Amino acid sequence: MQKQPWWRGGVIYQIYPRSFLDTNGDGVGDLPGIIDRLDYVASLGVDAIWISPFFKSPMADFGYDIADYRDVDPLFGTLDDFDRLLAKAHSLGLKVMIDQVLSHTSIEHAWFQESRTSRDNPKADWYVWADAKDDGTPPNNWLSLFGGCAWQWEPRRGQYYLHNFLTSQPDLNFHNPAVREAILDSVKFWLDRGVDGLRLDAINFCFHDKLLRDNPAKPPHERVGRGFSPDNPYAFQRHWYNNTQPENLAFLEQLRALLDRYEEVAALGEISSEDSLATMAEYTSGKRLHLGYSFELLTDDFSAAYIRGTVERLEAQMTEGWPCWAISNHDVERVLSRWGNGDASPQLANLLTAMVCSLRGSVCVYQGEELALTEAEVPYESLQDPYGIAFWPNFKGRDGCRTPMPWNDAANAGFSAGKPWLPVPADHAARSVQQQEVEPASALKGFRTFMHWRRTQPALCWGDIRFLDAAEPVLAFTRSLDGTTVLAAFNLSAKPAALDVSSLDALTPLDGHGLAQGTIDGGSLHLPAHAVMYAIVG
């Protein structure tokens, strides 16, 4: 078996720095806090960390509005702190991926401050500017993902600028070669410091349609999508022209050429398009991105049929690339609340982790999943997310998945000596790392046991995948590599279930994964509530 690059089949632990650990008492997590907890992260058996943005920013979108691509915001620390973090992670065998937000900047970025002053300054064409229509209205019907028109009037230029997200996040004009060069140079700054990978935020939003054509309407029955309020008009359109343009492919190849100058550096693209699976396949083919992930498993749909259908659709299209899967992140309701139907048991949490980590691909695990954390109820007066504030109460935003990590039984669950930027829920404090370290059957211990066991199973990390016909609530497939085939079967429900395995060769159960195990009786596989079966076939 050939040696695999670290990212292929790797498990990437996402750290949301604002909510990980605060070391200076200001209520916001920081880079020294991450350093302090890297030993804990390494103990989980993951391969890498992905750190959400820590760059200089006014924090209108909590770091996804960057004012300086090459510096650390003082809220999080310094460049020296980042260098120490990188060195500590590498000493523990952890790779480090950083978030790169390339499609847009903060309104406070020096580039935009210059661009907005006139139509003939050196940065005049660095952002997407357009004249008003004759009646003064915006140039087309494009909408912002955060609600409302995607165009904002700038009186200094007498033009509108494009913002696919907040009005304070103007879109860069990637049709301008100077912009692409500047962005790649900023990426190089971090590669030269030694980062091992990039998580590319909204990477299919870099280019816009030069002709500024209107997006067509979407029928009411198709107006669905992750994180949308029922009354968010963004879902009313087919977003054919404000993102996912063909010119982006050449830019991805430019980016890949830069990355290939460094040893084993990987790019993971976040993709949200009208057909995200097709875009994932396209963006990871040839010399483009190493990995792609989308939001198909970040929805409310929890069934074996949906998971199987999603993976099989991607497998049919992704003939060259490598997928990455996630069932939680900083933008969506935590998976135990979305898929648990009130069940927040360690057994279900560990089952869901095992399931997503057994699919073909790499995996992003969001901080707190190992503790079986649920979505926090954040009262309106404590909300921070502008998205949630704008759409309250129909959509409560993203604060509920961003509350601080609970570490111990101290004040604020050991997250901060000051008032946390978001409240720590009492039920989260009861599930702290300290508490779960001493509980024999805790979610944390189950997570850690499974992750270390998975590393001993090459077929689960890198093998091909083939689904078996199984009735709800059973999801079953095989992973095959170098002549070894492993059966993976999951009971997604809290009631016993069975699977006919008479068509398979002899099954030899695999132990040591720490999950509730099914049993084989003749040609039937019996799975108790939230149980799994891993077995060698043949």
pLDDT at 463 over 70: yes
Residue 365 is predicted with a pLDDT of 98
- Could you count the other beta carbons within 10 Å of the beta carbon of residue 93? 10
State the Cα–Cα distance between residues 349 and 332, nearest whole angstrom: 16
State the Cα–Cα distance between residues 277 and 295, nearest whole angstrom: 9
| 296 assigned to active site | no
Domain ranges of the chain: 11-106+176-454, 464-537
| 270 assigned to active site | yes
Note if the bond before 58 is cis, omega within 30 degrees.
no
Residue 307 is predicted with a pLDDT of 98
State the Cα–Cα distance between residues 154 and 125, nearest whole angstrom: 14
Determine the length of the chain: 538
Q: CATH homologous superfamily for 464-537?
A: Golgi alpha-mannosidase II (2.60.40.1180)
From the candidates 81, 270, 369, 370, give the one annotated as an active-site residue: 270
Confidence of residue 228 (pLDDT cuts 50, 70, 90): low
Residue given tokens 């690059």 in the structure block: 5
Enumerate long-range contacts of 147-155, CB under 8 Å, 24 or more apart.
Answer: 147/229, 147/232, 147/233, 147/234, 147/387, 147/390, 147/391, 148/233, 150/242, 154/116, 154/129
Candidates 268, 189, 199; CA nearest to 16 is 199
Per-residue pLDDT reduced to its tens digit, 27-85 = 999 999 999 999 999 999 999 999 999 999 999 999 999 999 999 999 999 999 999 99
Mean pLDDT, residues 426-431: 96
Per-residue pLDDT reduced to its tens digit, 339-348 = 998 899 999 9
State the Cα–Cα distance between residues 234 and 222, nearest whole angstrom: 12
Q: Is the distance from CB of 202 to CB of 270 less than 8 angstroms?
A: yes
From the candidates 61, 65, 201, 209, give the one annotated as an active-site residue: 201
Residue 274 is predicted with a pLDDT of 93
CATH among 3.30.1510.10, 3.20.20.80, 3.30.1330.10, 3.30.390.50 for 11-106+176-454: 3.20.20.80
Q: CB within 8 A of 422, min separation 6: which ones?
A: 19, 376, 378, 382, 384, 399, 402, 403, 404
pLDDT at 145 over 60: yes
> Whole-prediction pTM value?
0.97
Name the CA dihedral angle for 248, 252, 257, 259, rounded to a multiple of 10 degrees.
150
Mean pLDDT, residues 382-411: 94
